Each structure stands twice: as structure tokens, then as C-alpha cells.
Structure 1
Amino acid sequence: MTSTSPADFGRVDSDGTVYVRTAEGERSVGQIPDVPAAEALAFYTRRFEALELEVSLLERRIASGALSPDEARGSISTVRNNVTGANAVGDLEALLARLEALAPVLAQANEARKAERARQAEETKATKEAMVAEAEKLAQGNDWRGGVNRFRSLLDEWKALPRIDRATDDALWHRFSAARTTYTRRRKAQFAEQAERRDEARRIKEQIIAEARTLADSTEWGPTSGAFRDLMARWKAAGAAPREVDDALWAEFRGLQDQFFNARQATLSEQDAEFRANLEAKEALLAQAEAEVVPVQDLAASRAAFRSFLDAYNTHGKVPRESIRGLDNRVRALETAIRNAEDAEWKRTDPEARSRAEETVAMLSNEIDKLTEKIVKAEARGDNRAADKARDSIATYQTWLDQARETLADFSR
């Protein structure tokens, strides 16, 4: 706001005509008749103050960078036209001078704006180059789920960025677009391959289910259990079928498995109860037989008791697998005890064996007699060496003779 008096720049004639003083002289700005001169002058002074405020606002907007250079030049031109020849009273030349003084400020602001645009362009270029590098890396990767979302985000970010010089911007966009296209094609090819594998897995699993249906009612527990294990291995190796059918296929296959294995378990549970009852009966019979058969004192009685035991023992069926060996060992022990007793009895009553034992005793006794005669003759002629040798031989024959006599004695018991 000016601090000068309105009278310094204007006056009022007696007819109410108001004049403004300029460097070129006075000029009329209007006429307000029948009012005091001060009031008429104040009216046109307020017009000047409005122009002065307009200039001040323009100065502040240009200084703050709120206006672009073209907008600022247009505003200066408009305000200059408003001040030049304005019907107002005040220092109009000073306002025009202030408008002229905005030219270097505007030039400086224009340079700063260019520098800022250049800096922003470099930042935008660096950002787009980083986005292109990331896009090209994504295009060669296999992140099919996260990658497509990241490309979508990158595209939105790209659209939000300002353009830079056309050649650079077009080149970067071409690389970004090419990377996105490469990724999309690879992703589609991967999904097509996955879809083909899943369809093949579906066909394999449907075939497995068809085979499982033929096995579900089988009572061949061992072979069928193995067959189901093979089917499960094939199922796992087949991989995943399409998501919308995979769970249903598995539920059907699992149901067929459960049908077979539940039936097998029910049957095996019944067998286990039967086998345990058989085991208890066989163990009781064995305990009784072991008390009656061994030790074998009366071979005929023990043999009869063992036959009776076997007849009763074999009327009972299978026992739990882990008990078979122990039972068999106990039965074999009874058989062995009787067989050994039979062998001993046969050996004791065999006439040929007795005759051989008698002949052996007689032969050894005869040899000892011969050696005794040799000793007598050797001593008679003074051949002590021959006599000692004969005595050593007699000692050996005597040992054999004692053993032979013990064997012969067994036939007399």
C-alpha cells in the first residue's frame, strides 16, 4: 500500500471532474458531480488501491512459483493493461515499474523451473530404468503368482509417472512392454503345461480308482494289501489333478481303500480272537504232555501219551504268528525225547550190536594177552626197550577194552 496522499497524484475540478497526475501530465479519469471533492477523489483512489493489491498478489504468486512462466507472463500483461490508462488516482508509474521489475524475477523463476523439470526428468528416468530392470528380471523368473501382481503394480506406477523426452521414454516403455509380454507368454505356457500335467494326473487317478474298485471286495488280504500299496505309490507319483476334481478323486479312492482295509481288519480281529483261544488250548496241552512224556521212563507209555497229545493238539487251528516258533520248539523237544529213548532202547536190544560188542571185548583181551607174552619174552632176553613198548601198547588197548566193556554192559541193563 502507498503511504503518499491521494492529493499528490490527483485533483478535482469545481464541476466534479477528477484528474490523475502522470509523468506525461494530467488526464481526466472521470466526473462525480454534486459531491465533495475529497469524496470524489477517494472514489478513484480506491480504484488505484485495488490495482495496487492486484500487483502485490501477482508479485507473491510469481515469487512462490505458483504460476508457470506462461501463466505469469499472461498475468503481467493483463495487469499492465489494467494499470495503463486506468481511471484511478495514485502512483500508476510506480505500479508499472513494479510490473517491469517482475521480468528478471520471472526469468529466474523460469530457470529454476527448468532446472526442477530437468531434475524431475532425471529422477523419472532413473525410476523407469529401475522398473524396466525389475520387469526384465521378473520376465526370466518363475514367480507366476507374485510376478503377475507385481507387473500390475509396476504398470500402475508407470502410468502415474510423467513422461520424459520422447525418444528415451519410448525406448524404456518398449523394454518394459517387451518384458511384460515375455513374462505373460512364459506364464501362459507354464500354466498350459501344468494344465496338461493335471489332466494326465486326472486320467491316471481315474484309472487307479477303476482298479481299486475291483479290489475293494477282495478277501485275499495279503496280495490285495500289496496291490493297494502299489496303487498308492502310483497315486502319489501321478501328481495333482485339476483342483476342482482332485479332492473328489482322492475321497473316492480313499473310500475304496477304507472299504477293503476295514473288512480286512474286522476279519483279522476275529482271527486274532480265534488264534488266541487256540494258543491257550495248545499251551495247556503242551504243559500236560511235558509232564507226562518226559523224562521218558516207560517208553511205551510215553509214546502213547505223545500220540494222544498230538491228536488233541492238531484239533486246534492256527495261533498268532509270533507264538508259532515257541510252540513248535516245545513239540519238537517232546519228539526228540521219545526218539532218543527209542534209539537207546534199540541200541540196548540189538543182537547184532551186542555180538559186535562181545567180539570187540574178546579181540582186545586177546591182543592184551599177546602183548603180555611179548613182555615176558623180551625181559627174558633182556630187551627192555621192546618190553616197554609192549607195555605202552597194553595201556592203550586197556583203555579201548574198558570202553568196549562199558558198551557191552549197556546191553545187560
Structure 2
Amino acid sequence: ARTAFDRARRTHFAQRSTEQAEAKTVKEALVKQAEALADSSDFKQTPKSFRDLMAKWKAAGRAGKSDEEALWSRFKAAQDAFFARLGQENEKTEAEQRENLSKKQALVQRAQALLPLTDLGSAKTTLREIAKEWEGIGPVPRDERAKVEGALRKVEDAVRAAEQEQWRKSDPVARGRAQSTVDQLTTAIDKLRKQLHAAEAAGDERKASEAREAIEARQQWLAQAEAALQEFSG
């Protein structure tokens, strides 16, 4: 029985020794990969690479105690070195984005000073200059992006609306339609007045009343049409 027990024990330790040796080989390769990544400047992809290496590390099993500790010390040193640099890079990026935000906020204030619009042509020129400067500035903090971009967009929308209104007022086709409406209503009212006078002279109160109502309605329409026409000279 002891012989069988000793044989089983030797088999167990031999198997464990083999497994530890295999784990050591795998982890030595993982350490080399980690150390190669320690100085990486790819701050977007490298964190994922370290996560993948860590998953492989956990799946590799344990090497012998002293080997495990030594390998882990090297792996963690490489990982810490990279993430320390990543932290410094993030701080640098955040500082740059805050500076960019200040620059864009200054441009927004410059744009907002154009409102209310008094000179559309000058406002458009200034906005083009602002847009060119804006494009030359880098990204801002994500949580501030919508606010600062929205503030500039409001001014751009106001200028665009004013430009469209200016075009509408100077559109010869639309102005012609407005003038035609005024002329048609004026002609219709003159005709109705003649009909009214004729009805009154003939003592036909029904026709006279109908003419008065028609005149009153068209005078209201004429007032609206004249107001619309006036916008084209405003």
C-alpha cells in the first residue's frame, strides 16, 4: 500500500512540477510582452493589450513560488510603468482640452457680441473668421463640448435666419406677387364701390348691403396685403 501511495505521490508532484514549468514558460513570454509594452506611446490600444495579457496570465496557472513572485514582480513593474505614463498623458490631455475650451469660449463671446444683428454682412465676415479659428483649436472636454458648440450654433442660426429673411425681402418674384395682390384687391374694391353707388342710386338695399360687406372684407385683406408688401421695402 505504501508503495502505491509513494508512486501516486511522485506522480502528483511530477505532474505539478510539469504544470509549474509550463506556467513559468508561458509567463516568461507574457512578461517579455509586458516589458515591451511598458514604453508604448499607443495610449489607446496598449491598455487593452495589458488586459489581454492579464487574462492570459490568470489562465496560465501558477509557476513555482519563487518563480511566480519574480515573474509577477516584473510583469507588474512593466504594467505600472505604462499606466503611470498613461496617467501623465491623461493629465496633459486634460490640461490641453481645458485650454482649448477657454479659447472656444472666448470665440463664443465674440460671436455673441454680434447680437442683435445690426450689420449682416459684417456679422457673416466675423463668423467666418471665428469658424476658421475654431477649426484650428483642438478638442475640449467631452462634458463641455455640447454646451460650447451649442452656444456658437445659436449665433450661426441667428445669422442664417437673418440672411434668409433678407433674401425673402429682396426676392423679386415674391415682391411681384405681393404687389399683384395689392393691385387686384384695390381694383376689386373700386369695382365694388361703383356697384354700391349704383345700388344706392337704384334704392336696392339688398345689393347695397352685399356690396358694403364685400368692400369691408376686401379692405381688411388689402391692409394685410399692403403690410406684406411693406416688408419688401423694410
The corresponding residue for 1:261 is 83
Secondary structure, in 3 states, of the residue corresponding to 2:62?
coil
Conservation of the 8 A alpha-carbon contact between 1:293 and 1:306: no
What is the number of equivalent residue pairs in this alignment?
217
Correspondence for 1:289:
111
Q: Does the residue aligned with 2:45 lie in a helix, a strand or coil?
A: helix
Matched with 1:272 is 94
1:310 maps to 2:131 = yes
Q: Which of 34, 42, 51 in structure 2 is aligned with 1:212?
A: 34
* In 2, Cα distance between equivalents of 1:329 and 1:252: 49
Aligned partner letter, 2:100: N
Q: 1:206 to 1:350 in 2, by over 3 A?
A: same
Contact 2:178 2:229 in 1 (8 A): yes
Identity over aligned pairs, percent: 38
Mapped to 2, the partners of 1:232 and 1:366 lie a distance apart of 90
Contact 2:62 2:68 in 1 (8 A): yes
Aligned to 2:54: 232
In the superposition, the TM-score normalised over structure 2's length comes to: 0.73
Gaps of 5+ in 1: 1-176
Q: 1:339 aligns with which of 160, 175, 183?
A: 160
The verdict on how the C-alpha distance between 1:245 and 1:363 changes in structure 2, with shifts beyond 3 A counting, is farther
* Residues 198, 242 of structure 1: 8 Å contact kept: yes
Following superposition, the deviation at residue 370 of structure 1 comes to 10
What CA distance in whole angstroms lies between the structure 1 residues aligned with 2:107 and 2:230? 38
Aligned residue for 1:203?
A: 25
> So what's the TM-score if we normalise by structure 1?
0.44
Larger Rg over CA atoms: 1
Give the alignment of 1:327-366 within 5 angstroms. 327-360=148-181
Whole-Å separation in 2 of the counterparts to 1:293 and 1:275: 26
Q: Report the residue type matching 1:353 in the other structure.
A: A
C-alpha distance in structure 1 between counterparts of 2:163 and 2:95, whole Å: 39
Contact 1:286 1:330 in 2 (8 A): yes
Q: Secondary structure at the match of 1:296?
A: coil
Deviation digits for residues 174-223 of structure 1 (CA, Å, limit 9, x no counterpart) = xxx3xx66655555444444333333322222222222233222212101
Greater fraction helix = 2
Q: Distance in 2 between matches of 1:275 and 1:269?
A: 10
Alpha-carbon distance in structure 1 between the residues aligned to 2:73 and 2:221: 84
Change (3 A) 1:316 1:181: same
With over 3 angstroms needed to count, the CA separation of the structure-2 counterparts of 1:346 and 1:205, relative to structure 1, is same
Distance, in Å, in 1 between the alignment partners of 2:17 and 2:45 is 35
Relative contact order, higher structure (CA 8 A, sep 6+)? 2
- The separation in 1 between residues aligned to 2:173 and 2:129, in whole angstroms, is 33
Rounded to whole Å, the distance in 2 between the matches of 1:247 and 1:315 is 51
**Contact 2:111/2:152, CA 8 A, preserved across alignment:** no
